[in-house]
Structure 1
Amino acid sequence: MNDLSPKKRILLVFNSATGQPGRVGAVMRRYGFEFDIRRPGEGDELPTDLCKYHLVVVFGGPMSANDDHLDNVSAIMNWLPTVVSSDAMYLGICLGAQMMARNLGAEVQPHPEGMTEIGYYPVQPTPAGAHLFPEEMMVYHWHSEGFGLPEGAELVATGPTFPHQAYHVDERIWGIQFHPEVDDESHERWLANAGDKTDRPNGQCPDTQRAGRAKYDAAFGAWFERFAKKVLVKGLVPADAGHSS
């Protein structure tokens, strides 16, 4: 039986009313975690005592990390110092990575030439990230802004359009610009709800994205499994380990 002392809970914070944990949830559930889901934009409060959480995950959203006039952005930005001062691990995904970078003093800005990443694009490891990323991997993005690298952070993945793709601080705070949580259901939902935005500069149309998903998603999912094992759960064994499927 896997035991994580009393910390068998993960706090999942969504920046939209419809966001779901997707593949991130499926992987972490295999390690025996329970989820506490909060949506601050829908009025949910964010906990001030994080001692019972092993991990906090802040997901993406259609807004900017600079949109302090929005309830969810202001609530999360005001709360992130509590996360930093706690012992909980943190994983920021896309907007969640940008928010934490901004909280740590970095800027979040659009690409200087107006480029986006909407679809599948390559990332490569930096020397510091060679143990976490293959030489090149195609990952799923949906963003028009990027984060600067906070002081004291280590860049572990880069890319040709947005050079800051993944960072960490003290092995506890992690930010990634791409979306490992996106599964088939959420991908189609995103395309149905916001497919008109895919024609932005450097964006991929829905059919190109679907072709990319068929070609690249299995390897991307396998990467997240490895990342979770190395970084997020640190040696825990999945509940189904040793059982045939």
Structure 2
Amino acid sequence: MTATKKAVLITHGGDGPKNADHASRTLAELGYELDWRMPDQGSTLPQVDESIAVTVIYGGGRPADEKDWYTDHYPWLHAEIAFAKDCVAKGVPTVGFCLGGQIIAHGLGSVIGPSPQGHAEFGYYELTPTDAGKGFIPDNFRVTQAHYHGFSLPDGATLLAGTDAFAAQAFVLGKTTYGFQFHPECALQNFQRWQEKDQSLYEREGSQTRTEQDALAQDAHASQAKWLEQFLHDLVGPA
């Protein structure tokens, strides 16, 4: 009997299988065994081998400052960077959301830091696809955002989309490595939790008000869930 292929899901801040998200749901529906890892809570990371069909790195409960990428302040951060680099080198499809996208990008040589204007994005923002991203990023596509740092485009990667505040919102390297600054995996109930938990983000320039967010939420969550489902189907297919 052939062993079930694994989807390694790396989360932060105590998030894990108790939180609904569209990535883990879709991968479970495709038949993958979900292997949840929480390195910032003490989890180890597995050996990268043929049992891993895909790696997904989620966002962070606490964002890393610029210095944290070059010091030992968060040992788990460097373990995840090394793991992501190994996945990419061995051809394992690898996807990152928000901090996860930054981890993949940093492993590929990207610089992580604030926007030139010091803006944040907290709410639902429309992506502008590049020429290379047209067809991959839909027109008028609003996605969940909750961050004030971003990544530069790694060498050799193709830029797929940006926003006014953050020029690099999505990239692909080769055919199976994707970094996203946004949160297409985020379910509505998770964002509502962030609205209560991350009050300080409302004070940052560029963040939407609670009223603006609530007006955009239903349509944005429906469209990004559908998009992510199709993306994962195309990336890895059924187990």
TM-score normalised by the chain length of structure 2: 0.89
Shift of 1:81: 2.5
Deviations 1:181-240 (A, max 9, x none): 21122112211211232221110123322221123221222221222222x224x49xxx
Q: Any residues of structure 2 matched to 1:149-168 within 5 Å, and which?
A: 149-168=153-172
Tell me, yes or no, if the aligned pair for 1:93 and 1:179 is still in contact at 8 Å.
Answer: yes
Paired position in structure 2 for 1:63 = 63
Paired position in structure 2 for 1:13 = 10
Structure 1 segments unaligned to the other structure (5+ residues): 238-245
Structure 2 segments unaligned to the other structure (5+ residues): none
Q: Summarize the Cα distance change of 1:7–1:162 in structure 2 as closer, same or farther, 3 Å threshold.
A: farther
Q: What secondary structure, in the 3-state scheme, does the structure 2 residue paired with 1:175 have?
A: strand
Shift of 1:124: 2.2
The structure 2 residue matched to 1:97, chosen from 97, 101, 104, is 101
Deviations 1:38-64 (A, max 9, x none): 001111101123320110001111222
Deviations 1:2-36 (A, max 9, x none): xxx74521000012212446111112211111100
Which amino acid is the alignment partner of residue 106 of structure 1? S
The structure 1 residue matched to 2:222, chosen from 177, 197, 218, is 218
Q: What secondary structure, in the 3-state scheme, does the structure 1 residue paired with 2:49 have?
A: coil
Tell me, yes or no, if the aligned pair for 1:102 and 1:108 is still in contact at 8 Å.
Answer: yes
The structure 2 residue matched to 1:233, chosen from 187, 212, 236, is 236
Runs of 4+ in 1 over 3 A off after TM superposition: none
Q: What secondary structure, in the 3-state scheme, does the structure 2 residue paired with 1:127 have?
A: coil
- Distance in 1, matches of 2:59 and 2:229, equals 20
Which amino acid is the alignment partner of residue 11 of structure 1? V
Deviations 1:108-142 (A, max 9, x none): 11011110111100102212122211123111101
Paired position in structure 1 for 2:42 = 43
Shift of 1:65: 6.6
- Distance in 1, matches of 2:20 and 2:76, equals 18
Shift of 1:78: 3.2
Q: Give the RMSD, CA atoms, in angstroms.
A: 2.0
- Distance in 1, matches of 2:218 and 2:51, equals 38
Aligned length: 232
Q: Any residues of structure 2 matched to 1:121-200 within 5 Å, and which?
A: 121-200=125-204
Q: What secondary structure, in the 3-state scheme, does the structure 1 residue paired with 2:78 have?
A: helix
- Distance in 2, matches of 1:78 and 1:34, equals 23
- Distance in 2, matches of 1:65 and 1:226, equals 33
